[in-house]
Chain A
Amino acid sequence: MTDLAQNTLDGLFLGSSYALLALGFTLIFGVLRRVNLSFGPAIMFGCYAATWVNLNFGVGLMALALITVAGAVLAGAYVERLCFAPHRNGSPIAAMVASFALWMQFEELATIALPRHIYDFPPLHGGTPLEFGGLMLRVESLVMLLAAIVMCAVLWGILYRTRFGVALRAVIDQPQAAQLAGIDVPRVFVLTFALASAIGGLAGFLIAASHEQVTPMLGMWSTLKGLLAMMLGGLGSLPGAVLGGLALGLLEAHSQWFLGPQYRDLLAYLLLFVLLAARVPWMTTRSAS
């Protein structure tokens, strides 16, 4: 019985990291109607920047978190300017392939800056995991869950309690009407991109801390998991992103326990394929041509 509880717990922690990634993806997709394939690599850039600073100057955890988020936002701004601003009313495929091209840049930059394949990343709490009622609980996982909850609350607050939130939702809902309502849509794009990158940076920091390492594969991994969770939860819907992330986390935690890592991923992709093929309502409401 405790295995079930332990897996569910691990699934929630894992799911919260996916939820954060999916939130970032969905914000960008919701506003821009474009897929940013450099979302994960920008996070990796942030993590690598923090690792590089840590290796050379040795900084505290808070500083590492800030550098990671700042690095992700900086990389995100670079991606926005080069891949999304020029294609605003152009073709979505061009913007996506351009963001893929920058993914190549980030990946090579990472391997040049830190040539070794794997680098350590300090965990939040080095000691043994906490334990209560027979369940193991790592501090990183707890902080990850809290961060996801806090980020959801913050995002909800921004969306429904601030002027920027009204503008953001208006642009997501009907971009041209937003322009006519006097909203500076390009500025909303840039700010949303920065917000999404910041969320990604936070997720990246917590993921690196819980894995206690960074590898160049972090870019691919976070992009895939973010995309998967976003699609599962329903393209373009913020609550969907959170639910999709948690569902993916739970599915993976439980299937890993019973079937092992390879079948775990196989199951996740199979679920997405079947849901897409069956054209389930919540996933295909928003057209994403």
Chain B
Amino acid sequence: MDDYAIGVLTNIGLISFLALSAYLLLIAGEMSFGQQAFFGVGAYAGGMLTSMYGWPLPLAALAAMALGALAQFLVGLPTLRLRGLYFAMATLAAAEMARILFELFHFQRQVEGEPVGPDGSQGFRGIRWVFAHGVEPLEYMGIIYAMLALALAAFLLVERSRLGATLRGVGEDPQLAASLGVDVNRVKLGAAAAAGALAALGGVLYAHHNTYIEPRNFDLMLGVHSLAYALIGGLGTALGPLLGVVLDIGALEGSRIFHGYRMIVFGGLVALLLVWRPRGLLDERSVQWLKRRFS
């Protein structure tokens, strides 16, 4: 596979974490415009730990995930009682605040005689752990997809379990779920923390792939895109969001046929697709239908 194909596949893998993160909140009944902020938290935290404090990547990833989960938990605590657009706008506000805080965040340390670390809007250069440890692009892509497979396995496991049913129940009808004794808020906060961790994991992997991050990478566009991927791909299964990402980044970006007109084609395609399937390609109904056919 040439460099370009690896690059596209790596991008698909990285954004899929964000799409899964938005999907997890969507099935819990909450629409978030802010997952890019936790993606950013992961990127910054992971990058700092490896390039400023010499932590190994796996450890830094775990720490970043914990931080992402904590951050989304704290944002969710006062806002998860809000519904629909109110919650979306609260997450938008929180994410834009995070982006501006990244712009104001200057914290560097001398490593081998050179300042390393976030330098506000100049960004954060030199996250070179992957290169320093001689990891080939193909191998790094392997790691990303291994992590993604782990996340997917967790999703598919949860979806079959009682927890998965509770989650969807809370998403579809919180009052009904509450009347059945479900602590709706605790479930939503749990889902939010997990979504934060997922986004942060994507962030860590992105930072080390790109070796450079800057606040503008984590703007509203990324957040609304990940929400769109989850919805286009379908809310019926965790594979839905991945389908959304593959459709955009894979098919159109990779194919380069619509060279330069890609967004016009993709935008029109998405709008028409949503008219035909308002809950995405792999929505709940088609997933049930597939399960009946193949089980």
Contact = CB atoms under 8 A, between A and B. Distances in A.
A231 B275 contact: no
A105 B264 contact: yes
Q: Which of B82, B101, B267, B271 has the most CB of A within 10 A?
A: B271
B24 interface: no
A270 B103 CA distance: 16
A100 B224 contact: yes
B267 A101 contact: yes
A179 B228 CA distance: 33
B263 A104 contact: yes
A74 to B, nearest CB: 16
Q: Which of A86, A90, A104 has the most CB of B within 10 A?
A: A104
Contacts, number: 122
A171 interface: no
A97 B263 contact: no
Given A105-B263, A273-B94, A288 B85 contact: yes
A104 B266 contact: yes
A86 B103 CA distance: 41
Contacts of B268: 101-102, 105
A197 B232 CA distance: 27
A89 to B, nearest CB: 11
A249 to B, nearest CB: 17
Given A265-B100, A266-B100, A288-B85, A98 B264 contact: no
Q: Which of B79, B81, B263 has the most CB of A within 10 A?
A: B263
Interface string A263-288: 00110011011001111000110011
Given A101-B228, A104-B263, A284-B86, A266 B97 contact: yes
Q: Which of A103, A276, A284 has the most CB of B within 10 A?
A: A276
A62 interface: no
Interface in B152-195: none
A251 interface: no
B220 A288 contact: no
Interface of B: 26, 31, 78-79, 81-86, 89-90, 92-94, 96-97, 100-101, 103-104, 220-221, 224, 227-228, 231-232, 260-264, 266-272, 274-275, 278-279
Interface of A: 35, 37, 82-83, 86-87, 90-95, 97-98, 100-105, 107-109, 112, 220, 224, 227, 231, 235, 262, 265-266, 269-270, 272-273, 276-279, 283-284, 287-289
6 contacts: A220-B221, A270-B93, A272-B89, A276-B79, A277-B82, A289-B83
Pick the 3 closest A-B CB pairs, nearest first: A277-B78, A101-B270, A105-B267
Given A83-B274, A266-B100, A276-B90, 16 more contacts: A37-B224, A87-B274, A87-B275, A101-B269, A101-B274, A105-B267, A107-B263, A109-B264, A220-B220, A220-B221, A235-B85, A273-B94, A279-B82, A283-B86, A284-B82, A288-B84
